[in-house]
Amino acid sequence: MRTSTITALIAGAALVLAGCGTDSAGTSPTSGASTSAVESQAQFNDADVAFLDGMYPHHAQAVEMADMVAGHTGNADVVALAAAITAAQKPEMDRMTTWLQQWGQPVPTADMSGMHGMGHGDGMMSADRMDALTALSGTEFDRQWLTMMIEHHEGAIDMANTELADGENPEVKQMASDIVTAQQKEIADMRAALG
């Protein structure tokens, strides 16, 4: 009985190992996926670059606004929303940087000097509005922060929709689609919080 158990284990292991082998062409099952990922990274146009160049500082300002929440309010809904914004947008900023570097393009910085209120209808807040927000606390802060973040998100959605219409890179377009979906939901949540 012990011999038949060992034989069964050896036979099972042989079948598993046989399933792990390469096909007759000698390619691995993931080589096609890797090739398409590399091709996808190389496939981009000016609209993709413009989207990433604009969205990076846009996300940086959203994270800056989210960071303000901790010292200005105890509203659990606003605190949770700010945490969600930071959790979503910091990794997206990292991906934007990676794509631009892979394409040999300059990488924007998170430095907001000169970026506030660029006046392109992108929802960026002016330095004056950011300073005024910093001076508020409690319910006044909550209302102004929510109002400004709604405007900020609407600008991001406009930028993402432009990428969806004009962009070429499938991964960047997927990010744009994800931004539209996530930020539309957050806008609905923020409007509900405003009452």
pLDDT in tens, 103-139: 999 999 876 444 444 444 689 999 999 999 999 999 9
Domain-located, residue 55: yes
Are the CB atoms for 153 and 187 separated by under 8 Å?
yes
pLDDT tens per residue, range 58-72: 999 999 999 999 999
Q: What is the pLDDT of residue 41?
A: 58
Q: What is the pLDDT of residue 111?
A: 63
Domain-located, residue 152: yes
Domain-located, residue 181: yes
| Phi, psi of 88, deg, nearest 5 | -80, -40
For the entire predicted model, the pTM comes to 0.76
Average pLDDT of the segment spanning 10-34: 40
Which of 14, 58, 77 lies closest to 176, judged by CA? Answer: 58
Q: What is the pLDDT of residue 47?
A: 98
Domain-located, residue 116: yes
Which of 94, 85, 100 lies closest to 52, judged by CA? Answer: 100
- How many domains are contained in the chain? 1
Across all residues in the chain, what is the average pLDDT?
82
Domain of residue 105 covers 41-194
Domain-located, residue 77: yes
Domain-located, residue 47: yes
Quickly tell me which residue has 């691995």 as its tokens.
28
Q: What is the pLDDT of residue 42?
A: 73
Q: Is pLDDT of 19 > 70?
A: no
pLDDT tens per residue, range 66-107: 999 999 999 999 999 999 999 999 999 999 999 999 999 999
Domain-located, residue 155: yes
Domain-located, residue 95: yes
The CATH number given to whatever domain includes residue 51 is: 1.20.1260.10
